[in-house]
Structures are given as C-alpha cells and as structure tokens.
Amino acid sequence: MADPAAVLLAASSTIAAAVGMLFFKLAAKQQKLLSPQFIAGGILFVLGTVLMILALQKEELSLLFPITSLTYIWVMLLSWKFLGEKINRWKVASVVFIILGITFAVQ
C-alpha cells in the first residue's frame, strides 16, 4: 500500500499543474508573454513540481507516476467550467479508466 502522504502530495501536484495549464490557456488567448495569467501558470507549474518531488522522497516513482494521470481529469473539468468546453461520453469513459488504473497502481 502506498504512503498516504505521498499519494496526497502527488495528487495535489496534479491540481496545481491543471490550474497552471488553465492559466496558460487564458494567457494564450491574450497573446501576451508576460501576462499575469502566464506568470500564475508558471508559478503553479513550479509548485506542482515541488509537490511531486516531495512525494517522490516518500514513495517509489513507479507507484506515484500513474497518479499524474489525474491531471487530465482536472483539466477536463476546469476546461468545461471556465472555458465552456464540452464533456462527451468518450471523455467520461477515459476518466473511468484513469481512476481504475490509478486504483490498481497504488495498491
């Protein structure tokens, strides 16, 4: 069984990365390299990396890496909520498989 603190850190890193990517998308719409959204996205990506490094100090890479797949789920939900992107049945099916895969991997 995986170290719960490491799993929580890794999962938190995926949230930071997903929100960072949302900010990068918002910055891309403005086409300004040093916009506040771009800077926020960069800060969140660095935060996500630091959180993953802290997780890796506690647990094996092969156990934690599948958790990074959560990033897709967060990006899909954030894109739906803030960018108006559609969620179709294929995306929902992929979420089910991601969750199943992570569940098996962290056992």
5-47 pLDDT per residue, tens: 999 999 999 999 999 999 999 999 887 778 999 999 999 999 9
For the chain, the domains span 4-105
How far apart are alpha carbons 99 and 102 in whole angstroms? 5
Residue 105: CB atoms within 10 A of its CB come to 15
Predicted TM-score (pTM) of the model is: 0.90
57-105 pLDDT per residue, tens: 999 999 999 999 999 999 999 999 999 999 999 999 999 999 999 999 8
How many CA atoms, within 13 angstroms, populate the side-chain half-sphere of residue 18?
22
